[in-house]
A and B are shown apart, each in its own frame.
Chain A
């Protein structure tokens, strides 16, 4: 008989499929924990704080993490695929995209969360707002800092760090002329996520903007745009030769490691890197790195760029009965936990990550921790003049590719600075028009 084997094969396949589907049936009936996704950073600190939350509230949290480099794409896949996500870390740069797509839900109805706006740095609050709605609480914030190796400056006979970008050039030339370093200035201009932060810090400190308040490109404006910053970079590489042409392939990590090796006098780095640079276990220049206010350009100020990452919630998380638990979890991390800013203090102590809560600068323990590797008042003063990136938009990623390439071409002399800025501005205008 031929039919028996056929039937038995089909029966086997059916049984296999049923076995495969069994976990789905089982899981669907289980009570869903709060789905909380982050990138793979501060993992131990998050786990410990989640454990405290679960103990305190009796709620269950499913914490997951994935590498930062692929985090945005992973989240988009998970949003598209309907993964059980309630709360997640979000970069300020992704807010327009995530909010427009409906992947994030506003937190405005929850006053216990928005109450923290009053004690949070202004640019942090602004960074969580899109089209008039607020989408989260600050996870951590930092700004681009100007750091210098005091030991190298001392060897060059320089007693005061530079206050202007012109002084950076002149001091770098002195260091170079004494044979201390070939390239005393190290700034990363590789195409990576940090590039816009390096650029924005320089543009703001020279009194420029990429985009005006109405969202129109002004970067090509010779006076109010980004020309002064780009011209400085071009001159530093091409004319003064105090910044390596290799800066176009130097990322933030390479800047850090070069500085750690004692091979840089002046660097732009996130301020939290100051702790690593002064850690003898990780840096050969430990004890020598100090922070100065961001140098000014003519007509500029000590302004720098600030950024923040925040806790956002999905529409699933803020719907119905789930909302109460998710709001509690967001406050537990982004606000106070048991009456204190526990998580903010933990990540500051363990990882040197800054906080958006301005009153923490007055906290004795916080001051002691920051003071162990830097000047607390200067840190606070620099944060006061940090501004959010003006280029955050749904088309940021696409624009940034063109923009970054244009700047790199100018730095390496393949394009004039004016032409590079024109290219960037035209791309911005085209993308803005297309929406």
Chain B
């Protein structure tokens, strides 16, 4: 005889889970909600106590200023007073869109080069038997145990010698040094999980090594490719220290440097800063949402390898 389980404990359990989920969501999303809300407030309203989670007088003046000045349609006034709204707009408003462009170029280039370098390297390490194969993998990974701060001066000397100061190429080159080892490690683990028989069968059918990689392994490795691409993109998009040292002008400065610079000025507009923050998080969030289903499976690839 099947005894039905009592409904009471299940309801209580579900209620506790729901409440905990709501609390967790509120905890995680509250800063994001405030970022968005305050980006739509005037500087005068943002200092209200208690804070206005829903703006009394929502305004897009910060975003208007960013796009108008960034696209060359308007010039910010030197003292920050916005002639259109009477609000306060920092003079660096016009640098945000170009900086987003720089960040996007650097991050995209790093992703592409990561794939071009990381995929063949990982395939070779995972599927081609050669002397020192294991050592090669761990040697590549070992480069990541050096903290970035210790690399700043050596990197700076190299970049200066190459004449690449204040040049996006300096960021692309140095970010590759940071991201490629991780990409190779993740991809190599993923490829190792795939049966060697696949490799052999393709070779028997006349495929070259390159063809095996392109036609057999890459289509199967989509989750790992997405994961490393996202990692490389986000790492490049958010990187601060090296960009701080190697870039000098708005021509090459990336978004984190420009946003940090807003707080250096003599008058800091929190609402403008948060509008810049909204723009800064949009591309990574969009990518994470689009490729969400690949991220976990890609990053955990090889995690339970025996």
Instruction: List residues of A whose CB falls within 8 A of some B CB.
Output: 20-21, 23-28, 37, 39-45, 48, 62-71, 74, 77-78, 80-83, 253, 257-258, 260-261, 263, 272, 276, 279-284, 346, 349-353
Q: Please, which residues of chain B bring their CB within 8 A of the CB of A80?
A: 153, 156
- What is the CB-to-nearest-CB distance from B57 to chain A, in angstroms, rounded to a whole number? 13
Q: Which residue of the partner chain B has the closest CB to A39?
A: B264
- What is the CB-to-nearest-CB distance from B223 to chain A, in angstroms, rounded to a whole number? 31
Given A41-B266, A253-B268, residue A283 in contact with residue B44 (CB < 8 A): yes
Q: Please, which residues of chain B bring their CB within 8 A of the CB of A272?
A: 266
Q: Please, which residues of chain A bring their CB within 8 A of the CB of B300?
A: none
Q: Please, which residues of chain A bring their CB within 8 A of the CB of B164?
A: 23-24
Q: How far is the CA of A188 from the CA of B234 in the complex (A)?
A: 35
- What is the CB-to-nearest-CB distance from B93 to chain A, in angstroms, rounded to a whole number? 10
Q: How far is the CA of A65 from the CA of B262 in the complex (A)?
A: 12
Q: Please, which residues of chain A bring their CB within 8 A of the CB of B261?
A: 40, 43, 65-67
Q: Is B266 a contact partner of A352 (Cβ separation < 8 A)? A: yes
Q: Is A21 a contact partner of B270 (Cβ separation < 8 A)? A: no
Q: How far is the CA of A280 from the CA of B81 in the complex (A)?
A: 11
B157 within 8 A of A: yes
Q: How far is the CA of A43 from the CA of B249 in the complex (A)?
A: 11
Q: Which of B15-23, B83-91, B224-232 contacts A (4 or more CB under 8 A)?
A: B83-91
Q: Is B244 a contact partner of A70 (Cβ separation < 8 A)? A: yes
A-B contact pairs, 18 of them (CB 8 A): A20-B169, A21-B162, A24-B162, A40-B261, A42-B266, A43-B265, A65-B249, A80-B153, A258-B47, A260-B44, A261-B49, A280-B86, A283-B44, A284-B48, A346-B78, A350-B78, A350-B79, A351-B79
Q: Is B163 a contact partner of A25 (Cβ separation < 8 A)? A: yes
Q: Is A74 a contact partner of B244 (Cβ separation < 8 A)? A: yes
- What is the CB-to-nearest-CB distance from B217 to chain A, in angstroms, rounded to a whole number? 22
Q: How far is the CA of A364 from the CA of B33 in the complex (A)?
A: 48
Q: How far is the CA of A64 from the CA of B253 in the complex (A)?
A: 10
Within 8 A of A (CB), among B222-260: 244-245, 248-249, 257, 260
Total residues of chain B contacting the partner, CB 8 A: 45
Q: Is B152 a contact partner of A77 (Cβ separation < 8 A)? A: yes
Given A45-B78, A69-B264, residue A74 in contact with residue B245 (CB < 8 A): yes
Partner of A83, one of B81, B165, B169, B263: B165
Partner of A282, one of B43, B152, B266: B43
Q: How far is the CA of A27 from the CA of B161 in the complex (A)?
A: 10
Q: Chain B interface mostly helix, strand, loop or mixed?
A: loop
- Which 6 A-B residue pairings sit nearest by Cβ, starting from the closest? A40-B261, A24-B163, A64-B248, A68-B264, A81-B156, A67-B260
Q: Please, which residues of chain A bring their CB within 8 A of the CB of B165?
A: 83
Q: Please, which residues of chain B bring their CB within 8 A of the CB of A28?
A: 163
Q: Is A263 a contact partner of B260 (Cβ separation < 8 A)? A: no
Given A70-B244, A349-B79, residue A42 in contact with residue B265 (CB < 8 A): yes
- What is the CB-to-nearest-CB distance from B87 to chain A, in angstroms, rounded to a whole number? 5
B133 within 8 A of A: no
B 130-151 binary contact with A (CB < 8 Å = 1; else 0): 0000000000000000000000
Q: Is A24 a contact partner of B263 (Cβ separation < 8 A)? A: no
Q: How far is the CA of A70 from the CA of B162 in the complex (A)?
A: 24
B42 within 8 A of A: yes
- What is the CB-to-nearest-CB distance from A300 to chain B, in angstroms, rounded to a whole number? 30
Q: Please, which residues of chain A bring their CB within 8 A of the CB of B162?
A: 20-21, 23-24
Given A77-B153, A281-B42, residue A257 in contact with residue B163 (CB < 8 A): no
- A67-B264, A261-B49, A280-B86 given; 19 more Cβ-contact pairs under 8 Å: A20-B162, A37-B248, A40-B260, A40-B265, A42-B265, A42-B266, A67-B244, A67-B261, A67-B263, A77-B156, A260-B44, A260-B47, A261-B47, A281-B87, A282-B88, A283-B47, A284-B48, A349-B79, A351-B267
Partner of B78, one of A23, A27, A44, A258: A44
Q: A45, A350, A352: which has the most chain B beta carbons within 10 Å? A: A350
- What is the CB-to-nearest-CB distance from B137 to chain A, in angstroms, rounded to a whole number? 21
Q: Please, which residues of chain B bring their CB within 8 A of the CB of A263?
A: 49
Q: Please, which residues of chain A bring their CB within 8 A of the CB of B49?
A: 261, 263
Q: Is B264 a contact partner of A41 (Cβ separation < 8 A)? A: yes
Given A27-B163, A43-B92, residue A257 in contact with residue B47 (CB < 8 A): yes
Q: Which residue of the partner chain A has the closest CB to B76?
A: A44
